[in-house]
Amino acid sequence: MEHMEYIAKKEIDFKEPIVITGFPSIGLIGNIATRQIIKELNLDYIGYFDSPNIPPIMTVENGKIYPPIRAHANENIVAIFSEVLIPQNIVYSLTDKLLEYTSHINPKVIVNLDGITSLNPKDIYAVSTSEDILTNIKEQKIPILEFGMVGGMSGLISLKSADKNIPSLCLMAETPGLRPDPMGASNVIEVLNKLYNLNVNTEELIKEDEKIKEKLKKLAEEHLKLMTKQQKVENPMYL
């Protein structure tokens, strides 16, 4: 049986915190957004999830080593995210351990951040197992996903949190999904700000998105030049 444990590094006196999760998926929406929340709110590193089946890839920040799946927090917010893709064989054990931990801190709600594929990304969609949360979402004029699928950690956490009577919500940003999408992450944070008054600044993500788009534009231009040059060499009609 898969062995999963949560290793605490710092104790905090929580006050019915909002728990936010961000795991790598399409567009890296959850991962990017959660990182920005941790940075902007200056959340403390409080612990990590450990298993022999988690890829042994550590993050280094300012010379300090951090484990790949970890939690940062203050008394009102807990942010849990991963730097690595979650192997399929630990999705259930990680979800169970995450919910076991969160049930002990009496969270107000668990909000899972994710992405959903779109050729024309602009909206944020919400799903939940709670009718009260869905009613509030509708009152806030946030679109409800009427039909579709939610997979991976976000889907499983959303489903199994109901078994522990923990309210949960999944916010999914539309994204092309072909690259990391800071703009999609920015959009989902703005919805979080609206719902829970987090006041997380997203200007940095917007600037990063512009940089990525500029890089992609330059790559496309270089590719076009290369293809045009190759056609001229292969077809004398272009000479």
Confidence at residue 220, expressed as pLDDT on a 0 to 100 scale = 62
Please write the tens of the pLDDT for every residue from 139-163: 988 898 888 778 789 999 999 999 9
**What mean pLDDT comes out for the span 95-117?**
94
Confidence at residue 156, expressed as pLDDT on a 0 to 100 scale = 94
More confident residue, 229 or 168: 168
* Domain match, 175 and 210 both: no
- pTM attached to this predicted model: 0.86
Q: Print the domain residue range for 217.
A: 205-239
Q: Report whether pLDDT(230) > 90.
A: no
* Domain match, 190 and 108 both: yes
Starting at the earlier edge strand, list the strands of the sheet with 168-175. Answer: 5-8, 44-50, 69-73, 77-82, 18-22, 109-117, 168-175, 124-128
> Pairing relation of β-strands 59-61 and 64-66?
antiparallel
Cross-strand pairs, 49: 6
More confident residue, 230 or 46: 46
Confidence at residue 231, expressed as pLDDT on a 0 to 100 scale = 54
* Domain match, 230 and 138 both: no
Six token digits for residue 20: 């936010």
More confident residue, 42 or 181: 42
DSSP 16: S
Confidence at residue 92, expressed as pLDDT on a 0 to 100 scale = 95
Going by C-beta distance under 8 Å and a sequence separation of 6 or more, which residues neighbour residue 67? Answer: 48, 49, 50, 58, 59
In this prediction, residue 239 has a pLDDT band, given cuts at 50, 70 and 90, of very low
Q: Report whether pLDDT(238) > 60.
A: no
* Domain match, 60 and 110 both: yes
Domains: count for the chain: 2
* Domain match, 194 and 213 both: no
Of 57-71, 176-190, 211-225, the one with minimum mean pLDDT is 211-225
Six token digits for residue 54: 């988690």
Of 7-16, 126-135, 203-212, the one with minimum mean pLDDT is 203-212
Please write the tens of the pLDDT for every residue from 16-69: 999 999 999 888 899 999 999 999 999 999 999 999 999 888 988 889 999 999
* Domain match, 189 and 234 both: no
Confidence at residue 22, expressed as pLDDT on a 0 to 100 scale = 95
* Domain match, 123 and 55 both: yes
Contact 44, 196 (CB under 8 A): no
> Pairing relation of β-strands 77-82 and 69-73?
antiparallel
